[in-house]
Copies of this chain bind each other. A is one copy, B any other.
Amino acid sequence: MIYLDNSATTKPYKEVLETYVTVSEQYFGNPSSLHSLGLEAEKVLTKSREVVAKLLGVQSKEVIFTSGGTEGNNLAIKGIALEHSSRGKHLITSVIEHASSYETFSELEKKGFEVTYLPVNQSGHISIEELKRALRSDTVLVSLIHVNNETGAAQPIEEIGKVLKEYPKVFFHVDHVQGITKVPVHLKNNHIDLCTISGHKFHGVKGTGALYVREGITLSPMLHGGVQEARFRAGTENVPGMAALAKALRMSTDKAQERKDHLIQLQQKAVNGLQEIDGVVVNSGIGDRHAPHIVNFSIPGAKPEVIIQALSHQQVYVSTKSACSSKLSSPSRILMEMGLGNKRAESAIRISFSYDTKNEEIEAFIKVMKKEVPKLLQVMR
């Protein structure tokens, strides 16, 4: 099996599942219960929060546990927009956000908010000048995806942070779901107010995530009820899930340090190999402004489902665009917005690595591609 769909989801680390099971069995109490079983569960939750906070370089009380990236993005965007609407109803985002942000902004537009969608260039980057022009006195939020989930294009968060430092009333949310453990971002130094991460993207378990909310910021909650998660997110805490999240983040951060250049090498190898194949166009870039774990390419004229099936039969797993919208048979919104045209946007394939992906797996993938692509092109003619 050659699994090259790590941006859709990753396999949980063995140690992460062990943590999950241990906590589920030994610390199964409800952290809100006052007896010692409850207190012990609460300690595990507190410890997990401390670990996540430390790895993010923030305070424990600034970490809100969620059920995943979609919830994090929804909570950050709606939470800020609805809570601070008296200050203004203008929001800024980009045209290449993940559906969990993009659809949330569409929803807010229906509720009377005005949204500026910053365009991107052919490499998938917004322009700092356009951002500056978009900022208004009634702007309350800038929300941007750091690493795009389809192309790996990384927005210049440091530069954006510098611009937003001059606008202390504008909140800055970063969708860091694809970036975390791949492209480091210092939350505190870059004027970031809110930041979303999702456990299953870095070998944690599904249904877990965290939202960093800078101290002092108030949010309108989506889930009302108990007083958990600083009242920002009611509901019995998923203690084993969050312990697993902390473990996965620690392990992935360690791997990122040990194997810093590994993903870059895999990416270079994949791009080189793909460029040798007739009919294949690489859509994503490499280097500083791109995450090292994603390569996006098209086979103009081919149906991506057919390529995916052909590769899947060889136990090579890749994807079309975002998993969250892969069942919608429309061209990739992201590639269209990059101006790559319908043919490329319709036939886009994404491969995505983890730190455990092997060089040989990329070689085998290229080998399979070299065999399958000519067959596909043959059929199409």
Binding site for B on A (CB under 8 A): 1, 3, 5, 8-12, 17, 20-21, 24-25, 28-30, 32-38, 67-71, 73-74, 98-104, 106-107, 198, 200, 205-208, 222-228, 234-241, 305, 308-309, 311-312, 317-320, 322-328
Contacts and interface: CB of A to CB of B under 8 A. Distances in A.
A21 B12 CA distance: 10
16 contacts: A5-B29, A9-B33, A20-B20, A20-B24, A30-B323, A33-B317, A34-B320, A34-B327, A35-B308, A37-B317, A38-B317, A70-B225, A98-B225, A101-B225, A107-B224, A206-B237
A100 B34 CA distance: 20
Contact of A325 (B106, B227, B238): B227
Contact of A206 (B101, B107, B239): B239
A37 B224 contact: no
A100 B207 CA distance: 20
A100 B224 contact: yes
Among A9, A104, A236, max chain B CB count under 10 A is at A236
A376 to B, nearest CB: 15
Contacts of A206: 24, 236-241
Nearest to A241: B207
Contact of A30 (B8, B228, B239): B8
Given A25-B12, A107-B224, A236 B36 contact: no
Contact of A238 (B207, B237, B305, B312): B207
